[in-house]
């Protein structure tokens, strides 16, 4: 890139020129770089209309939120809280159902030993479940 920009020392420019005359890969790269530089120079900057910008900014500053949006804010907050409560409830119920499956399998003898060990090991990875599992063994 420095070669194309003319930023190299004369000796380095000569070395790069010699290399370019013999290396097809670098010739292709140099050609693509020249084409790209040509495209960049041909690109014009867009004209910014300061008057239009001023008009838009003034309109935005003087506009307030529509009335219907102001009424929706409390509903949005309530819906968010309800969604969080539902997700927490689903998590708790899922945990209870998992516990019921384990205990049902233990009492009926249908749960395999490795299945139960796997589930308990999974539960021990979670802090809350670990605490609940250790309620009977407070020394652990």
Q: What is the pLDDT of residue 99?
A: 67
Q: Dihedral through CA 83, CA 86, CA 91, CA 92, nearest 10?
A: 140
**Which pTM value belongs to this model?**
0.31
Lowest-confidence segment of 43-47, 59-63, 66-70, 100-104 by average pLDDT: 66-70
Q: What is the pLDDT of residues 67-90, one digit of tens each?
A: 556 566 777 788 888 999 998 888
Mean pLDDT of 16-22: 91
CA distance 80 to 74: 10
* Mean of the per-residue pLDDT values of the chain: 76
Mean pLDDT of 133-138: 62
Q: What is the pLDDT of residue 7?
A: 86
Going by pLDDT thresholds of 50, 70 and 90, the confidence category of residue 101 is: low
- With residues binned 3-state (H G I as helix, E B as strand, rest as coil), the percentages for the chain, rounded to 5, are 80, 0, 20
CA distance 91 to 113: 25
């Amino acid at each position: 890139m420095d070669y194309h920009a003319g930023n190299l020392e004369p000796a380095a420019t000569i070395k790069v020129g010699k290399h370019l005359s013999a290396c097809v890969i670098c010739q292709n790269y140099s050609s693509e770089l020249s084409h790209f530089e040509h495209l960049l120079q041909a690109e014009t900057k867009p004209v910014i209309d300061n008057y239009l910008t001023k008009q838009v900014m003034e309109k935005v500053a003087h506009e307030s939120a529509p009335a219907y949006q102001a009424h929706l804010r409390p509903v949005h907050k309530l819906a968010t809280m309800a969604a969080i409560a539902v997700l927490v409830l689903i998590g708790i119920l899922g945990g209870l159902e998992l516990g019921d499956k384990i205990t049902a399998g233990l009492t009926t003898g249908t749960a395999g030993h490795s299945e139960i060990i796997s589930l308990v090991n999974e539960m021990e990875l979670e802090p809350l479940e670990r605490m609940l599992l250790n309620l009977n063994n407070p020394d652990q």
